Copies of this chain bind each other. A is one copy, B any other.
Amino acid sequence: MKARVTVMLKNGVLDPQGEAIRHALGSLGFSGVTGVRQGKVIELDLEATDPAAAEAEVGRMCETLLANTVIERWSVELI
């Protein structure tokens, strides 16, 4: 079973990487971009076969290691 974890900065947290991308896109002539946020995506191959148990386990991984929950929010999707 595979799981995809998406980790994004929470709204209100400054995202300098996203801002840098927005500026770079503007310089390249892509003028219709009003905001950019960058985050991480982590794809996990899991031995677990029960979807509910897998999702709970991945949630614990996010809280423990994958995300800094003070400034980041995470979501899990089984694929």
Give the distance in Å from the alpha carbon of A47 to the alpha carbon of B26 in the complex: 13
Question: Which chain B residues lie closer than 8 Å to A36 at the CB level?
Answer: 42-45
Contact A42 B34, beta carbon cutoff 8 Å: no
Q: Which residues A23-43 have CB closer than 8 A to chain B? A: 24-25, 28, 30, 32-43
Q: A30-B57, A66-B21 are in contact. Are A41 and B43 (CB under 8 A)?
A: no
Band of interface residues on A = 20 to 34
Binding site for B on A (CB under 8 A): 6, 8, 18, 21, 24-25, 28, 30, 32-48, 57, 60-61, 64-66
14 residue pairs bridging A and B, Cβ less than 8 Å apart: A18-B42, A21-B65, A25-B65, A30-B60, A32-B46, A32-B47, A32-B48, A32-B57, A33-B46, A35-B45, A36-B44, A36-B45, A37-B43, A38-B43
